[in-house]
């Protein structure tokens, strides 16, 4: 870091501390927003030195917060974000949809990180999500994500209470998941291996300039991580079960909107709009045909994920 850049950073760090001490949050956000657009590395350094104070300040900003849309399959997150996008647009409500991993790749490129491992991803997660939440500020910021919820200790976990408004987890029958993956790969053996993560692989998210290696994990680990009672209660979680959507799609989506209202939003519950969306997405209302799998393979699947599958009403 050159001499003049170091002087500027020390000056801005001093301003940040003064703004926090004097509770001048408007000027604080103006300064940080300016740094986000002009000098992301400096913002990163300042955030790391003031992380606890800045996250505490976020608790006063209850109107904003990330809405996570999580699932094991990426296309399942798209289904729910498509619904939100349709519903909000019909109500003339501004919203923004971002993919978490893609956003991280963009930030890493600006920070100069070409490769990132899981431990770095964990250490930087609050910074990523602080940027997601605040730049630009939008009431409905929907974040698509496939990474399991993790908790290293009580201070280090997937997200922070001051950054997240609520989350949705979309859960699908694991046998349907095998069918969907097989339709893409034409290899049921590899589909089962992926569902169970038998090869203990990492998934490599990459762009032209940056990459991240994140644990792939198996279906049950992904499901269990987001559907634990403590995670649901702490972060205002709602479990979206496709089995329930198949039988009563309009009621299920109405409950999704009701969940947003329960977490502090104020949305009109419009059944006509929900029905319109369901009718234009009829493929999602049909149960996916489960592939034929040998008893030997079913035993392997049951051994690893049957407990979680049975809990959610799925038969293997």
Q: Do 170 and 185 sit in the same domain of this protein?
A: yes
Residue 316 in domain: no
Q: Which of 128, 121, 113, 172 lies closest to 147, judged by CA? A: 121
> What domain count does the chain have?
2
Other CB atoms within 10 Å distance of the CB of residue 212: 22
Domain assignment present for 237: yes
Count helices and strands (H / E) in the chain: 15, 10
Please tell me the distance from the alpha carbon of residue 28 to that of residue 10, in angstroms, as a whole number. 15
Return the C-alpha torsion angle 32, 37, 40, 43, nearest 10: -10
Do both 82 and 55 map to the same domain? no
Question: Do residues 113 and 210 share a domain?
Answer: yes
Q: Is the pLDDT of residue 62 over 80?
A: no
Structural contact between residues 87 and 274, judged by C-beta atoms closer than 8 angstroms: yes
> What range does the domain containing 9 cover?
1-60
Q: Are 149 and 261 in contact (CB under 8 A)?
A: no
Q: What is the mean pLDDT of the chain?
A: 92
Average the pLDDT over 75-96 and give the result.
94
Same structural domain for residues 14 and 159? no
Residue 184: pLDDT band (50, 70, 90) is confident
- pLDDT tens, 197-242? 998 888 889 998 999 998 878 999 999 999 999 999 999 999 999 9
Statement to judge: residues 208 and 135 lie in one domain = yes
Same domain, residue pair 186 and 281: yes
- Within this chain, do residues 37 and 71 fall inside the same structural domain, yes or no? no
Tell me: do 294 and 245 sit in the same domain. yes
Tell me the CA distances in angstroms from 179 to 192, 274, 291, one per residue in order.
10, 28, 6
Nearest partner of 278 among 86, 67, 78, judged by Cα? 86
Q: Does 87 lie in the same domain as 13?
A: no
Other Cβ atoms within 10 Å of 234 Cβ, number: 13
What is the pLDDT, as a whole number, of residue 283?
A: 74
- DSSP calls for 256-305: HHHHHHHTT------HHHHHHHHHHTGGGGSPPPPPP--HHHHHHHHHHH
CA distances from 141 to 92, 97, 129, 156, 192 (A): 15, 6, 11, 23, 34
Q: Which of 16, 41, 60 is the last residue of a domain?
A: 60
Among 60, 80, 102, identify where a domain stops.
Answer: 60
Lowest-confidence segment of 153-167, 170-184, 282-296 by average pLDDT: 282-296
Share of the chain above pLDDT 90, in %: 77
| Domain-embedded: residue 159 | yes
- Evaluate whether residue 253 is within a structural domain: yes
For the packed helices 295-311 and 174-185, what is the interaxial angle rounded to 10 degrees? 130
* One domain for residues 41 and 86: no
Whole-angstrom CA distances from 99 to 66, 67, 69, 81, 132 are 12, 12, 10, 10, 10
Burial of 96 (0-12, 13-18, 19+ CB in 10 A): middle
Same domain, 37 and 163: no
Q: Are residues 135 and 160 in the same domain?
A: yes
Give the model's confidence band at 168: pLDDT under 50 very low, under 70 low, under 90 confident, else very high: very high
């Amino acid at each position: 870091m050159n001499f003049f850049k170091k002087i500027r950073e020390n000056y801005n760090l001093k301003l940040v501390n003064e703004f926090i001490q004097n509770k001048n949050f408007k000027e604080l956000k103006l300064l940080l927003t300016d740094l986000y657009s002009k000098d992301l590395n400096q913002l990163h350094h300042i955030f790391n030195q003031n992380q606890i104070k800045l996250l505490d300040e976020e608790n006063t900003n209850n109107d904003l917060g990330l809405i996570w849309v999580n699932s094991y399959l990426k296309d399942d997150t798209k289904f729910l974000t498509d619904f939100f996008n349709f519903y909000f647009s019909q109500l003339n409500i501004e919203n923004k949809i971002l993919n978490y991993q893609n956003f991280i790749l963009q930030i890493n490129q600006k920070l100069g990180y070409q490769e990132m491992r899981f431990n770095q991803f964990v250490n930087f997660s609050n910074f990523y999500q602080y940027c997601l939440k605040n730049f630009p500020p939008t009431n409905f910021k929907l974040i698509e994500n496939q990474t399991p919820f993790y908790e290293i200790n009580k201070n280090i976990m997937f997200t922070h209470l001051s950054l997240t408004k609520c989350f949705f987890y979309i859960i699908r029958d694991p046998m349907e998941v095998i069918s969907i993956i097989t339709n893409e790969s034409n290899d049921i053996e590899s589909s089962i291996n992926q569902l169970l993560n038998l090869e203990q692989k990492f998934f490599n998210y990459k762009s032209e300039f940056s990459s991240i290696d994140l644990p792939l994990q198996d279906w049950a680990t992904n499901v269990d991580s987001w559907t634990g009672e403590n995670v649901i209660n702490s972060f205002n979680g709602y479990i979206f079960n496709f089995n329930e959507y198949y039988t009563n799609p309009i009621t299920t989506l109405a409950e999704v909107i009701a969940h947003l209202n329960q977490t502090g939003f104020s949305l009109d519950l419009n059944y006509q709009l929900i029905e319109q969306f369901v009718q234009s997405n009829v493929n999602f209302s049909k149960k996916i045909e489960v592939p034929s799998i040998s008893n030997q393979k079913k035993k392997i699947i049951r051994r690893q994920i049957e407990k979680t599958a049975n809990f959610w009403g799925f038969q293997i």
